[in-house]
Structure 1
C-alpha cells in the first residue's frame, strides 16, 4: 500500500509510530487536540502541521483529538522528476519530509492557510470513500496541490528545505558496495533500486556531487585501476576480472581516454618512482 488515511478522531494516548505502521512518511494536521512527543515531551498544538518520516519521534495524543493524517510510502512519489516538472514544485515531497528544518517541528498556520489545507484534505477524504486512494488520479492531484501550497507557506515563513542527506549517503554507500558489479550501477538499475525516476536520479546526483553520475563512477574506477597498477600483486587480467571490463583492450581504451596514457605506461612510471 502506498497511501493511506487515518480516521479523523484519535483517542487519548493513541500513538503515531511510522516504523510500526510500515509507511515512510506522514503528513499530520491537528484540527483539534494535542499531540506530544514520547521522546522529548515536545507539544504540538491544534491548527499545526507536522511532517513525519521513519526517523521522527513517536507521537501520542494527550486527549481525544481530531487529526488528519496522510500516510505515504516512498512508492507514491516514485516518479519525482514528473512530479516536480508537472506540478511546479521546487522540491519533491520526499525532500520536504526529510528536511532537517522540519523534522520533529510543526508549522503554525495562519487562518487563511488553515482553511485552504482543510479544504484540500476534505476533498481527499471524500474521494477516498468511493475510490482507491493509492491509485486515484484525483487524489494524487490534490496531494500535489497540497505540497505546492505547503511550499508557498514555507516561503512565506522564510524556511528553507534542506535536501535529504540520508538519500545521498545511501547512494554513495550503494555505489561503493557495488563498484565491482557494473550492471548494478547502470542508471536504470540504480534508479529502480532507490525507487526514483532515472531522469530525476541524474539531476539529483549531479547537484549533490557537482559532477555527473558517469564521471563520478569513472573517477572511482580509475582510482581503483591505478591503485592496483601501482601494486605488484595484480596482473592486468586480474584487474580486468575484478572491475568488470570485457578484456584487457577494453580496460586500456577506458584508461587511455581518461588519462591520455596507457595502463602499462602508468605502471612503469610508478615502478620508476619507487
Structure 2
C-alpha cells in the first residue's frame, strides 16, 4: 500500500459556524459536503452549499467557507503523481495516473464550472454513496483496499466527467445546433493518438468530407482543427509543468511533440516564454 498516498489524499474537515481562512492549494481538490450548510466563496463567487454538494477547485482558486451551521467536508487532494501517466504495475493494481488521460478534460475545463459541480438528484445520491464508501475504505487495512479505493475515485471522476461532457465544453445552444461539441469531445479523448485526430479520421468519424469537416469545425469554434489540437496539447503541457514531476522531454514525448525543442518553440509562440520559464511559476508550498 505504498503507491496510493502519492496519487491522492483523503481527509475529513469540520468547521464551526464561522469563516475559514481564505486560502488556496498547489493541487486540484474535490470537496464533498457531508453535513452542514453555508456559503462557499470561490474567487469571489458565492455558492450556497448543503449536504451532498460537490466542488472542484484548481490550484489557482482561492476559497473560504462561511458556515451557517457546523459543517463537515470530505476533501480529496490530487497530488503531483496523479498527473504522471504511467503504465499499470499489475493486473490487480492499476495506477490512477494511467487512467488520468481518460478524464483529463475534467481538470482542463475545471475553470468553466467556477468550482461548483451541479448534478441531478440521482447523481448527487450516487456520488454521496461513493464518497461515504471511500471514507470507510480509507480508514481500513483490508485486502484489496488499494484497488477498491482507486476504482471508487475513478468512478466518482467519471460521474463528474459525464457532467463535463454534457455541460462543460460548449453552450447548450451550440450543443443542440451543431456537431462541434462532439468533435471537441472526440479530439480531447483521443489527444494522445495522432492517428485518430487527422482530418481524414475526423471526416470518417463524423461522416463528412475531408474538406467540409475542417471548414465546419472552424466555423463553429473559430479555430482550425490543427490549431485546436495544438492549443489543447499546450494546455495539457501547462498542467504537467505546474503539477507533475515529469521532465520537459517526457512531457514533449507524451504529447506527441518531436522533442523538447519542438515543444519549446510552440510554447514560446503561444506564451512568450519557454516551458522551463513557465514551470518556474509553480508554487512550492501551500498558501
TM-score when normalising by structure 1: 0.53
| Cα pair 2:80 2:245 within 8 Å, conserved | no
Shift of 1:122: 1.1
Q: State which of 58, 74, 80 in structure 1 corresponds to 2:63.
A: 58
SS of 1:7's equivalent?
A: strand
2:121 counterpart residue number: 111
Q: State which of 14, 36, 40 in structure 2 corresponds to 1:36.
A: 40
Compared CA separation, residues 9 and 137, structure 1 to 2 (3 A): same
1:45 equivalenced with 2:57 (yes/no):
no
Compared CA separation, residues 150 and 100, structure 1 to 2 (3 A): closer
1:69 equivalenced with 2:62 (yes/no):
no
Q: State which of 14, 18, 29 in structure 1 corresponds to 2:20.
A: 14
Shift of 1:115: 1.2
- Deviation digits for residues 73-101 of structure 1, max 9, x if unmatched? 12234336766897596433xx5234354
Q: State which of 22, 26, 29 in structure 2 corresponds to 1:26.
A: 29
Correspondence 1:254-273 to 2 at 5 A: none
Compared CA separation, residues 105 and 169, structure 1 to 2 (3 A): closer
Shift of 1:201: 5.4
Q: After TM superposition, what 4+ stretches of structure 1 lie above 4 angstroms from structure 2?
A: 80-89, 160-167, 169-172, 195-198, 217-220
1:4 counterpart residue number: 9
The alignment covers a number of residue pairs equal to 190
Instruction: Please list every run of 5 or more consecutive structure 2 residues that lacks an aligned counterpart in the other structure.
Output: 89-94, 171-184, 189-231, 267-287
Compared CA separation, residues 164 and 139, structure 1 to 2 (3 A): farther
Correspondence 1:212-231 to 2 at 5 A: 212-213=258-259, 216=262
Q: Distance in 2 between matches of 1:39 and 1:98?
A: 18
Shift of 1:27: 0.3
Compared CA separation, residues 171 and 146, structure 1 to 2 (3 A): closer
Shift of 1:105: 2.9
SS of 2:140's equivalent?
A: coil
RMSD of aligned C-alpha atoms?
Answer: 4.2
| Cα pair 1:84 1:90 within 8 Å, conserved | no
Q: Distance in 1 between matches of 2:9 and 2:97?
A: 25
2:84 counterpart residue number: 78
Q: Distance in 2 between matches of 1:8 and 1:129?
A: 15
Shift of 1:42: 1.7
| Cα pair 1:84 1:91 within 8 Å, conserved | no
Compared CA separation, residues 122 and 79, structure 1 to 2 (3 A): same
SS of 1:55's equivalent?
A: coil
1:126 counterpart residue number: 136
Compared CA separation, residues 153 and 96, structure 1 to 2 (3 A): closer
Shift of 1:139: 0.9
